[in-house]
Structure 1
Amino acid sequence: MQMIGSDFDGTIVQRKTISTKTREQIEAFRKRGNQFVIVSGRTVAKMKEGLKKYEADFYDAIIACNGAAILDGNLNWIEEQTMDEETVKMLLRDLAAYAPVADGGRAVSFALQDGQGMPILPDNVQAFRNGPYVDVVKRGVSKAAALRKLTGRYEVERLFTIGDGLNDIPLLDCAKDSYSFAHCPDEVKAHAHTIHTKIEDVLEDILHIQS
């Protein structure tokens, strides 16, 4: 069995839509007995919102929170990696001294200038740049680490990865067949095996490799 691990925003979703051709290509890949995994920096709640908004039902598993959460094709939890309570309290306390922002629900966000506040991060956590955000997760957690768990679980013979952002670099590094796009930052493209213009070209390439 083969598997595609793909970022969502800016990758599967391009120009604020998922094209009909993209949907057909993913389904063609899955009908050959393979698995398609969405790998996102979004929280689980935001991921579910995105799936509903874009009517995306073409996945066999979801990796969210930059690898801290793994869900199956029915959105049941497979695994979660959480930071310990003391570390979370410390981060909230120390970052609040820079620029507090009130936010409802379980999530908490802060507005910081580039690099501001980063030196205070303890050794047991790590940060990923995610567009205008910085996502902080437990050390050892990443999109790549979570995807490797799924490849082991399902005995995947060949892995393809697709990404467009700085937080996708570990994802691109974990597969020999990795793809990014011409419009992406050079730092991201340097970690991809193949560069294409759009997602349909990437998926066409993967389907051709299989044929």
Structure 2
Amino acid sequence: MKEQGVIFFDIDGTLLNHDKELPSSSKKAIFKLKEAGHIVAIATGRAPFMFEDLRKELGIDTYVSYNGQYVVLNGEVLYTNPLNIPALEELTKVALNNDHPVVFMDHEDMKANVPEHNYINESIETLKIDRFPTHDPLYYKGRDLYQTLLFCPEGTEQQYENGFDAFDFVRWHPVSVDILPKGGSKAIGIKKIVDQLGITSERQYAFGDGLNDIEMLTTVTNSVAMGNAEDKVKAVAKHVTKSVEDDGIVHGLKMVGLL
């Protein structure tokens, strides 16, 4: 057997295609990796409850969720990095005045600060998950939150970026951005896992396609951008594979010598 490696996969646009389906070729490849003794992990901006079915289907119990803010190794929580609640409370007040709703998210659930809004419907529906945020404007009180969704059109997030330096803002949809703790990223979450596992950088791999994958693809030695990734994402990766729709996972694993 080759020396054990650890491979981190983003979900949307990497493991899952545009229709939020897992190509059969990708599923077979992941099981081949596991049979060969490698560790297969997920690194996503999603909440843990948004990909529970996928973890079960693939038999994965190590993951970086919330873009690095909630990290689990072998089914046990390894690292958390919650949001600054007083700053979030202030941001929420500004957002409400702008008719920009927010959704508060912890490791178990998500709650909107307004009863309903078209922006929330439009963006959450694209995830094709079986859960939708219910209304609880005080959900941020007395609990750790690892990410908040701010719903605002492209270009309007600038005022929040300028006014709230406790956070990073990463757009994932034309009307929604992720609010993360300043400096938080998938790369930090991955480092927590690989340090614990003691796996050398030469045996670390990462696949991604989105803007929130840039830090991960920049820092992981064997980085692979999907063919459907944006150009700025491809530019930082060591390798560029085919599109997720065109057996990109299998092709990329062959490129880096794992299949």
Superposition TM-score, scaled by structure 1 size: 0.86
Instruction: Answer yes or no: is the 8 Å Cα contact 1:181–1:189 preserved in 2.
Output: yes
> Corresponding residue for 1:39?
43
2 CA distance for matches of 1:108 and 1:174? 25
Check conservation: 2:13, 2:228, Cα contact below 8 A.
no
For residues 71-110 of structure 1, the aligned pairs below 5 Å read 71-74=72-75, 76-101=76-101, 102-103=114-115, 104=135, 106=139, 109-110=149-150
Structure 2 distance, partners of 1:150, 1:64, is 12
Correspondence list, 1:72-151, <5 A: 72-74=73-75, 76-101=76-101, 102-103=114-115, 104=135, 106=139, 109-121=149-161, 122-132=164-174, 133-151=176-194
Q: Which residue is equivalent to 1:11?
A: 14
State the partner residue of 1:196: 241
Gaps of 5+ in 1: none
Mapped to 2, the partners of 1:126 and 1:108 lie a distance apart of: 11
Residues 154 and 203 (structure 1), Cα distance of their counterparts in 2 relative to 1, 3 Å cut? farther
1:92 offset after TM fit, Å? 0.8
Q: Is it true that 1:167 corresponds to 2:206 in the alignment?
A: no
Map of 2:222 onto structure 1: 177
Q: Structure 2: which 5+ residue stretches go unaligned?
A: 102-113, 116-134, 140-146
Give yes or no for contact 1:35–1:60 (8 Å, CA) kept in 2: no
String of CA shifts for 1:21-62, please: whole Å, max 9, x gaps: 2112111112222211111111222232x527xx53332412
Q: Please identify, of 194-203 and 120-129, the stretch whose mean Cα deviation from structure 2 is larger.
A: 194-203
Letter of the aligned partner of 1:77 in structure 2? V
- 1:103-137 Cα offsets, whole Å, 9 max, x none, are 52548654312221433342221112223331111
CA contact (8 A) 2:25 2:250 kept: no
**Aligned-residue RMSD, C-alpha:** 2.3
Residue aligned with 2:180, SS: strand
1:22 to 12, 15, 26: 26
| In 1: Cα distance, 2:239 partner to 2:179 partner | 29
Aligned residues: 207
The residue type equivalent to 2:43 in the other structure is V
User: How high is the TM-score relative to the length of structure 2?
Assistant: 0.71
SS at match of 1:136: strand
- Corresponding residue SS for 2:194: helix
CA gap of 1:47–1:11, structure 2 versus 1, over 3 A, is same
SS of equivalent to 1:114? coil
Offset at residue 183 of structure 1 (A): 2.6
Which amino acid is 1:46 matched to?
Answer: M
Q: Distance in 2 between matches of 1:94 and 1:21?
A: 46
CA displacement, residues 125-178 of structure 1 (integer Å, 9 cap, x when unaligned):
111222333111111210111011111110112111111111111111112211
Give the aligned residue type for 2:234.
Answer: K
Q: Which amino acid aligns with 2:67?
A: N
2:195 matched residue in structure 1: 152
Percentage identity across paired residues of the two chains: 20
CA distance in 2, matches of 1:140, 1:110: 18
